Chains A and B, each alone.
Chain A
Amino acid sequence: MTTQSEAVRSETRDERPEIRPTGLLRQSLAITRRNLIHIKRMPEMLLDVTIQPVMFVLLFALVFGGSIKTSSENGYNEWIMAGIMGQTIAFSSFVVAVGLTADLDKGIVDRMRSLPINSSAVLVGRSISSLMHSSIGIVVMSVTGLIIGWRIRDGFLDAVLAYALMLLWGFSMIWVGIWVGSAMRSVEAVNGLMFATMFPITFVANTFAPTENMPDWLQTIAEWNPISSLVQACRELWGNTPPLGDDAALPLQYPVISTVLWTIAITAVVAPLAIRSFRRRTQD
C-alpha cells in the first residue's frame, strides 16, 4: 500500500480496526451461540425433541404396553425408553439438515463464507448446537421415563457409558444431516426425505417391538440395523434387559463394541460424501 493512499485514508476515515486471526473453535462457538439464540427466540423448535417423543412414549406405553412381551423384567415401559431415545438421537440428523438447508437457502452460509473465517466453522457450529438440541431431548426423555417407571438398574459408570454412546451416535448422524442438508434445496424437501427414510429406519429395529416376532427376513434386517446395536447397548448398560444369547445376530451379542464400530463406519462413509456435497453446493 502506498504511503500516500494511507495518508489520504486516515484523513478521511477512521483507522480500520485490528482483525485478529481466530481459531476454528472460537468461530464455531460464535455460530453455535447464534444457533442457540434461535432456539431461545423460537422455543417451538424444540417440539421435535420434547412433546413429540413424550407423546411417543405415552402412546406406545399405553397402547402397546399391555400386549407386547419384552425381555425386560419391569415391563414394556422400561424396555421402550432406550428405543425412543435412540430414535430421538437418530433424528439429530434431521435437526442438522433442516438448520443447514435454511441457512444455505437464506444466504447466511455465503455471508459467513465471505468473512475471513474457516468455512468449516459453519458446519462445526451447526453440529454442536444440533447435538445440544438433541441432548435436551434425551434429558426430557429420561425424566419422562423416570415418571412412568423406567429406572437405571446398573452401575453409574455403565449408565454414563450408555449416554456417551448416544452422543457418539448423534455425532455420526450429524454427517448424515450435513449430507442431506447440502443436497436438498428447501426445508420442505428435507422434511419429506427425512420422514420417508428415518421413520422406517428407526422402526425396523428393536426400538419399539422385539425382533423375534418379525418375519425372518425382516428380523435379520432389524437386528443388523445399526440403531438396534445402540438400543440394545443402552438397555443392557441401564440394566433394562439381560444380554442376548448366541442365537441373536452377531452385532447384538456385543452391542457396545458394535455401536462404536457402526458409528465409525457411518462416519467414514458419509463424512466425505457430506463434505463433497457441501462444497459443491456452496462453491458454485
Chain B
Amino acid sequence: MSPRAAIEAENLVKHFGETVAVDGVSFSVPEGTVLGMLGPNGAGKTTTVRMMTTLTEPTAGTARVAGHDVVREPAAVRRAMGLTGQAATVDELLTGRENLRLIGSLYGLSPAYVKRASEELLGRFSLADAGDRIAKTYSGGMRRRLDLAVSLIARPPVLFLDEPTTGLDPRSRVELWDVLRGLVREGTTLLLTTQYLEEADQLADRIVVIDRGTVIAEGTPLELKDASGAAALVITVSRAGDLPIAERMLREHVSEVHVDEGARQLTAPANGLGDMTRIAGVFAHSEIELDDLGLKRPSLDDVFLHLTGHRAEDAQDGESSDDTSTTDAGEKVP
C-alpha cells in the first residue's frame, strides 16, 4: 500500500510575460517524506514553491497540498502548510517571542496555545535565552531557526523550505539539518529546494533535479549517483617522488589510472569495496607511504554535470536570490 501524497504537482507551468520560468514540472511527495528540489539559481525552484504555496497562480497545470487544490482552495492550503522563504523573513524589530506571537495570532490560534507553543519551539531551536531580544541582533543561523519556528507555530503537516541554509556557515547548516530530520521523524512532509548537492543528499528521500524550468531527472540520491557512473578509487601518496612507482603498481590491478601530480593523487575506476581492500593490501605490503586511500562515490555535482552537461555552479552568478527568470541560467551546452 503506497502512502498518500501530501504534495502533488502536475505539469505546472509559469510564464512571466515572454519568459517561461517553469515549464511543465510534475512530482509527488508521499506523506512523511522529504523531496529535495535541486537546481541552480534561475532554474525555477522558487517559482515552483511560490505556486505550491499559493503566492502566485500557475499559468497552467494543477497542484495539491494536503489534498487541497492551490488555485481553488488557497485558504485550505495555507492552513495546511508552512513556508520558510529564501531570505529569513523574520521581523527584525520584533523579539523572537513577538515574531511567534504575531504569526500565531494571524493564524487565529488561541493566545494560551501560542504562548505554550512559542516556549516549546524556542527551547527546541536553542533560542530560549534569545527569545526577548530583537531579531536584528540574531546571527544568521539563529534567524533561520526563528524563521522555521515561526513556520511551525500552527504545526503544519506540510512544510516548504526555499533554500533553507543558503548563506549559513557549515556548523549552522548541520544544526538546521538536525532540526529538519527531527520534524520528518514526527511525520512532517518536507519539500526543500537547494543549490547544495550535499544538502539534498543528506536530507531528501527523493530528489528532482530541475534545470531551466523542467525536471531533468528524478530518483533517490543513490539512484541518481548510480546513473552517473561507477565509483572511483582515490589514492594520495605522501611523497611526490613515489608517484611513478605507485602508478605502475596500480596499473597491475586496474586498467586505467589518472595521475594528478600537484595533488599527489592517483584516481582509478573501482568496482566497490572489494577492489579497494585488495589494493589497500597491495600498498600495505610496499614501501610507499600513503596519506589517504578511499572510495569516492560520484557526488551529486557529478550527477548534475552528467545530466546537464554543465556544472551546477556554472549558473550561480553571485548570491542573487532572484529565481523568477531562466535567462540567467548557465550557457546551453550542445
Q: Chain A interface (Cβ within 8 Å of chain B)?
A: 1-2, 5, 8-9, 12-14, 16-22, 26-27, 30-31, 33-34, 37-38, 41-42, 106-108, 110-117, 121, 282-284
Contact = CB atoms under 8 A, between A and B. Distances in A.
Contacts of B78: 114-116
B93 A114 contact: no
A21, A31, A284: most-surrounded residue (chain B CB, <10 A): A284
B83 A34 contact: no
- Chain B's interface: helix, strand, loop or mixed, by majority? loop
Contacts of A12: 185-187
* Smallest CB-CB A-B distances: 4 pairs: A107-B89, A22-B108, A20-B108, A116-B78
B313 interface: no
B31 interface: yes
A83 B221 CA distance: 69
Nearest to B88: A107
Contacts of B79: 19, 116
Interface in B69-128: 75, 78-79, 81-83, 85-87, 89, 91-94, 98, 102-103, 105-110, 113, 117
B4 interface: yes
B107 A114 contact: no
B93 A9 contact: no
B56 interface: yes
A21 B4 contact: no
B236 interface: no
22 contacts: A13-B155, A17-B109, A19-B108, A20-B108, A20-B110, A21-B108, A22-B108, A27-B106, A33-B102, A37-B93, A37-B94, A41-B134, A107-B85, A111-B83, A111-B89, A112-B106, A113-B55, A114-B55, A115-B106, A282-B55, A283-B56, A284-B16
A107 B87 contact: yes
A114 B157 contact: no
Nearest to A106: B89
A33 B91 CA distance: 13
B234 interface: no
A41 B186 contact: no
B57 interface: yes
B165 interface: no
Nearest to B113: A17
Contact of A108 (B54, B89, B156): B89
Given A16-B154, A19-B109, A110 B55 contact: yes
A42 to B, nearest CB: 6
Contact of A106 (B87, B108, B113): B87
A17 B16 CA distance: 38
B214 interface: no
B107 A19 contact: yes
A1 B3 CA distance: 12
Nearest to A116: B78
B89 A110 contact: yes
B59 to A, nearest CB: 11
Contacts of B185: 12
A247 B202 CA distance: 80
B53 interface: yes
Contacts of B55: 110, 113-114, 282-283
Contacts of B186: 12-13
A17 B117 CA distance: 10
B4 A115 contact: no
A8 B185 CA distance: 12
A282 B57 CA distance: 11
Contacts of B81: 114
A26 B108 CA distance: 9
A42 B93 contact: yes
Contacts of A111: 83, 85, 89, 103
Interface in B160-191: 185-188
B154 A17 contact: yes
Contact of A114 (B53, B67, B108, B109): B53
B138 to A, nearest CB: 14
B324 interface: yes
A108 B109 contact: no
Contacts of A14: 155
Contacts of A5: 3-4, 31
A32 B83 CA distance: 22
Given A26-B105, A114-B83, 19 more contacts: A1-B67, A5-B31, A13-B186, A16-B155, A16-B156, A17-B113, A18-B110, A19-B107, A19-B108, A21-B108, A22-B108, A34-B102, A107-B85, A110-B85, A114-B53, A114-B55, A116-B75, A116-B79, A283-B55
